[in-house]
Structure 1
Amino acid sequence: MTTTSPSAMNSMAAWEDARIEGAIRDLILHMGDDPDREGLVKTPQRVRTSRAALSDGYGASPLSVVGDALFKESSRGMITVRDIEFYSMCEHHILPFYGRVQISYLPDGLVVGLSKLPRLVDVFAHRLQVQERLTAQIAEAVADVTHARGVGVIVEGFHLCMMMRGVAKQHSSTHTSEYLGEFESSQDVRDQMFRALTRNS
């Protein structure tokens, strides 16, 4: 069985970093600027590191971020976490979109630590995305992790691909929702979620 030495792995990583930075340098040239001028000399490195942070969701999974923060709980009342901020990248133009996520679920013997719900959002937001898929993936992850009787997720997003280019509408927002289990089958459950979201908002 062949193993790769640490020095070889470091060399491969350095080669990959240089390749990415070279591509960014080429992009700057293509845009009509000089990658060797003072303000841009380190831009390829900065872009590489920032893109790595914005795409770290590919290396994560819902179970890994939740870990052991699942707790047995007899309460069956609705749990709602409002206004979870997210930042993602549109897969069509590789421009940012951002906004807020609202999550409600009906527990069935298990609850998840509240701080883990924003982490679940980031698992999927930190990938190339479309808002519709992001919404569905968050709902499915909450359902899979908690085995909830129902899950509701609502996302409001602001897309720079609409705000900076194309139709250039700065104040438009996109709303998407995903309902699973009792949220899908019961209007009363959805209404309860809406009341929780609008209370004191």
Structure 2
Amino acid sequence: MSLEKLSQNYLEVLTNLGENPEREGLKGTPERAAKAMQFLCHGYNQSLDEIVNGALFQSDNDEMVIVKDIELYSLCEHHMLPFIGKAHVAYIPTGKVIGLSKVARIVDMFARRLQIQENLTRQIAEALQKVTNARGVAVVIEAKHMCMMMRGVEKQNSSMHSSVMLGDFRNSVNTRQEFLQLIGRN
């Protein structure tokens, strides 16, 4: 959607809330809000190939690789309110490793879309599996959801944890336990 069209939609939201979009504090808000939403949802404009950009490297390593505490910011697709947290991502290579920053970029690409945490977790795991052809991939996400905190049940201390285990992480209790122990979740 164009910036102009999105700005017009925000102008209508302000007007429908009973606000005066011409008052000093709101002048320019529709365009600023539209730009913010475009930024918060820029994952729609990215592809896995662009993100990885060939950053796969030959390696004899066949032991678990973990990138822990990757901060993430997303928007709940039900209320368009933020959820904020961290992802822990692991994989067991089979001849190739991925550039370290690419793991965080994959997390961001999927987080920067209207999302539910359960799907976000699976999308990250499946993307890493597809790119690396790993023996296994594990993703755990912990997040606080503003739709639970700011509205509805208003539970300030609640957090959601989701996980997806593929390959060796799903099939081997020992591998899964090692991962969970290394991220401090067992």
Amino acid at match of 1:140: E
Amino acid at match of 1:75: N
**CA distance, structure 2, for counterparts of residue 159 and residue 134 of structure 1:** 14
**TM-superposed deviation, 1:71:** 0.2
1:27-56 superposed Cα distances (whole Å, 9 cap, x missing partner): 011112111001101111111111111111
* Residue number in structure 1 paired with 2:168: 182
Instruction: Extract structure 1 runs of 4+ deviating beyond 6 A.
Output: none
Question: Any residues of structure 2 matched to 1:134-173 within 5 Å, and which?
Answer: 134-173=120-159
TM-score by length of 1: 0.89
* Residue number in structure 2 paired with 1:6: none
Amino acid at match of 1:117: V
**CA distance, structure 2, for counterparts of residue 82 and residue 117 of structure 1:** 10
**CA distance, structure 1, for counterparts of residue 42 and residue 82 of structure 2:** 15
Identity value in percent = 46
1:112-138 superposed Cα distances (whole Å, 9 cap, x missing partner): 011111100011001000000000000
TM-score by length of 2: 0.96
The structure number with the bigger radius of gyration is 1
Whether the 8 Å contact between 2:57 and 2:98 is mirrored in structure 1 is yes
| 5+ residue gaps, structure 2 | none
Residue 198 of structure 1: SS of its match in structure 2? Answer: coil
* Residue number in structure 1 paired with 2:182: 196
Which one of the candidate residues 72, 87, 91 is aligned to 1:105?
91
**TM-superposed deviation, 1:193:** 0.4
Whether the 8 Å contact between 2:81 and 2:146 is mirrored in structure 1 is yes
**TM-superposed deviation, 1:194:** 1.4
**In terms of mean alpha carbon deviation, does 147-156 or 54-63 score higher?**
54-63
Amino acid at match of 2:81: L
1:125-169 superposed Cα distances (whole Å, 9 cap, x missing partner): 010000000000000011001100000000001110000000000
Which one of the candidate residues 108, 124, 131 is aligned to 1:122?
108
1:81-140 superposed Cα distances (whole Å, 9 cap, x missing partner): 100000001000011111000001100000001111110001100100000000000000
**CA distance, structure 2, for counterparts of residue 25 and residue 183 of structure 1:** 48
Question: What value does the CA root-mean-square deviation take over the aligned residues?
Answer: 1.2
**TM-superposed deviation, 1:64:** 1.2
Whether the 8 Å contact between 2:91 and 2:138 is mirrored in structure 1 is yes
| 5+ residue gaps, structure 1 | 1-12
Which one of the candidate residues 57, 64, 76 is aligned to 1:90?
76
**How many residue pairs get matched?**
185
